[in-house]
Amino acid sequence: MAKKKTIRTIPQERTPMREQPASVRVKNFAEVACGFTLEDALRESERCLLCPEQPCVEGCPVGIDIPGFIQKISEKDFRGAYDVLTDTNLLPAICGRVCPQENQCEGVCTVGDSLEPVAVGRLERWVGDQAIAAGWANIPYIEPAPFKVGIVGSGPAGMACAADMAKAGCDVTIYEAFHQPGGVLRYGIPDFRLPNEVIDAEIGKLKQLGVKFECNTLVGRLFTIEQMIDELGFHAVFVGTGAGYPTMLGIPGDSLNGVLSANELLTRCNLMRAKEFPNFDTPLPIGKRVAVVGAGNTAMDAMRVCKRLGAEKVYCVYRRSRAEAPARAEEVHHAEEEGIEFHWLTNPVEVLDDGKGGVRGMRCMRMELGEPDDSGRRRPVAVAGSEHDIETDLVVFAIGTNANPIMGQTSSLKLNKRGYIDADDRFATSVAGVYAGGDIVTGAATVIEAMGAGRQAARSMKTYLGIRDAEVPYSIDGRGSGNRMFGIDPAERNFARIRAA
């Protein structure tokens, strides 16, 4: 066995990932981060200490065996690394790109205590990309089960749930209201962050598992959840319709023609390919000076899309400071490199009319941070007399979403007081056989959290349907017995070495 790695023997610097230079990439929609090379991946894999605590596994919403797949990379068993990844994560090429790793696996990495953490996301992406390039797919032998499962919504939650149910032998159909599957991966996340080919490849894998996709189908209106169970013969249904309904600014002028939601901008640009107008028919509002309100991932996407569409100036207007911005660190960094102007601690109070129904500017107040609020972040407070105008002709709001009302309008599913579907900790809803997960339960969150919810819901569905689930052996704390030595969790470290006499 190789000599045990220590924090001193591993490569000290985190391996950088090659990127398109900012000046070039603001003129195209090709992917910004070019990914690791083989050498990069091998070097970075050496940085994992394979520590016994494995905090990264705990930090991952789906509990990927992170040291396991990294070890396979360092052993040059790339297919093996892919196998380890796909044990828990169906879509490594997607998650490696879009997960907020700094708050998850990388945020708790042991190496990160003294050096920069292991680049788990980049390694995951590398393995996922190898799989796509080589056409690897782990199609297990599937024992058919006599159950029909319907999935509402083809986003990350629905896809993750569908994969697990298909592997359990069920006849799975995913319904999507748009004309193309993928949900937020397709309409929301732009090509330069998640290329369409990657989504297509991952959807292709689901099809190989036997999952059927039905697009142009608005469940709730074309047929209801209850009809799926009563008339269409589904034994169980998973609802993963996403949060949807964008929040308005609620300030004077927010119905002007130059004001739109980030969802609308991104859907027009990504799904409807309005960036290729007039080859594609959908038009897109193009601003010379664009102000995007909000600082989450969606806001960063909207800003960078506008920049690529030719905006001269793009401003980020956010009422808190950079430290509170909810976007992935890498996205903020990329946006800064691309010349986005950040107006931290700035809150819009009015969108100014140009007299023709359009926008000429946005009146803002400066803010300062006060006491922490419910979210634990310091509450921004307006500074008296700090009104100032920002010159802009397009205002994009990316300030979150509310629950989409269609499921509530058309089914008897119980909703919580915020309008999201009420699901228990096993993702069961108030209707027997109907499960729900992702943003429609929790409110806007991340791709990987939605996938985690989809998988958990699949587990509950299997129990409900009475399918033997070999993936979940009995264990008291749910971590599986594999991690234990004589029934003792290695993380506990509550045993001492003794020397036999």
Partner 1 sequence: MANFEIVAREDFSDVTYLLEVRHPLMAKAARAGQFVIVMSHEHGERIPLTIADFDRKKGTITLVIQAVGKTTKEMQQECVVGTSLYGVTGPMGIPSHIDKVRKVACVGGGLGVAPIFPHARAFKEAGAYVIGIVGFRNSDLMFWEDKFKAVCDEFIVCTDDGSAGIKGNVTFGIKRAIRLHPDLDEVVAIGPPIMMKGCAETTREHKIKTMVSLNPLMVDGTGMCGGCRVKIGSQVKFACVDGPDFDGHQVDFDDLMTRLKRFTTQEHAAVERWSETCRMTNPLKTLGIPARRGEEEALPDPFDEVAGG
DSSP state of 485: B
Q: Can you tell me which of 120, 166, 228, 260 binds partner 1, judged by CB under 8 A? A: 260
- Strands of the sheet containing 434-436, edge to edge, are 212-214, 171-175, 148-152, 236-239, 434-436
Q: Can you tell me which of 61, 285, 348, 433 binds partner 1, judged by CB under 8 A? A: 285
Q: Which stretch binds partner 1 (CB under 8 A): 118-126, 131-139, 253-261, 376-384?
A: 253-261
Other Cβ atoms less than 10 A from the Cβ of 178: the count is 18
> Closest approach of Cβ 380 to partner 1, in Å?
24
Question: Contact 306/269 with Cβ under 8 angstroms?
Answer: no
Neighbouring-strand partners of residue 316: 292, 342
Q: Can you tell me which of 277, 321, 445, 464 binds partner 1, judged by CB under 8 A? A: 277
The answer to the question of residue 207 lying near partner 1 (CB under 8 A) is: no
What is the maximum span of the chain, computed from C-alpha positions, in angstroms? 93
Helix H or strand E segment including 352: strand 346-353
Query: How far is the C-alpha of 146 from the C-alpha of 319, rounded, in Å?
Result: 53
The answer to the question of residue 282 lying near partner 1 (CB under 8 A) is: yes
The label of the residue with tokens 């308005």 reads 248
The answer to the question of residue 223 lying near partner 1 (CB under 8 A) is: yes
Number of chain positions touching partner 1 (CB under 8 A): 42
Question: Contact 316/340 with Cβ under 8 angstroms?
Answer: yes
Q: Which of residues 352-371 bind partner 1 (CB under 8 A)?
A: 357
Give 268's Cβ-side CA count (13 Å radius): 19
Query: How far is the C-alpha of 498 from the C-alpha of 495, rounded, in Å?
Result: 9
The answer to the question of residue 240 lying near partner 1 (CB under 8 A) is: no
> Closest approach of Cβ 8 to partner 1, in Å?
52
> Closest approach of Cβ 183 to partner 1, in Å?
10
Q: Can you tell me which of 149, 152, 229, 272 binds partner 1, judged by CB under 8 A? A: 272
The answer to the question of residue 273 lying near partner 1 (CB under 8 A) is: yes
Question: Contact 155/242 with Cβ under 8 angstroms?
Answer: yes
Q: Which of residues 433-462 bind partner 1 (CB under 8 A)?
A: none
The answer to the question of residue 267 lying near partner 1 (CB under 8 A) is: yes
Nearer to partner 1, 52 or 357 (CB): 357
The answer to the question of residue 200 lying near partner 1 (CB under 8 A) is: no
Q: Give the strand pairing for 434-436 and 394-397.
A: unpaired
Phi/psi of residue 159, each to 5°? -65, -40
* Burial of residue 498 (number of CB atoms within 10 Å: 0-12, 13-18, 19+): exposed
Cis peptide before 278 (omega within 30 of 0): yes
Q: Which stretch binds partner 1 (CB under 8 A): 105-113, 171-179, 472-480, 488-496?
A: 171-179
Q: What is the x/- site pattern for partner 1, positions 379-408, by CB under 8 A?
A: -------------------------xxx--
> Is residue 378 helix, strand or coil?
strand
The answer to the question of residue 244 lying near partner 1 (CB under 8 A) is: yes
Q: Which of residues 404-423 bind partner 1 (CB under 8 A)?
A: 404-406, 409
> Closest approach of Cβ 388 to partner 1, in Å?
26
The answer to the question of residue 71 lying near partner 1 (CB under 8 A) is: no
Query: How far is the C-alpha of 381 from the C-alpha of 317, rounded, in Å?
Result: 15
Nearer to partner 1, 88 or 261 (CB): 261
> Closest approach of Cβ 169 to partner 1, in Å?
25
The answer to the question of residue 178 lying near partner 1 (CB under 8 A) is: yes
CA 22, distance to chain mean position in Å, is: 24
The answer to the question of residue 252 lying near partner 1 (CB under 8 A) is: no
- Which amino acid, 401? T
**Structure-token pair, residue 38:** 């083989």
Q: Which residues are at the interface with partner 1 (CB under 8 A)?
A: 177-179, 187, 214-218, 221-223, 242, 244-246, 248, 250, 254-255, 257, 260-261, 263-264, 267-268, 272-273, 277-283, 285, 357, 404-406, 409
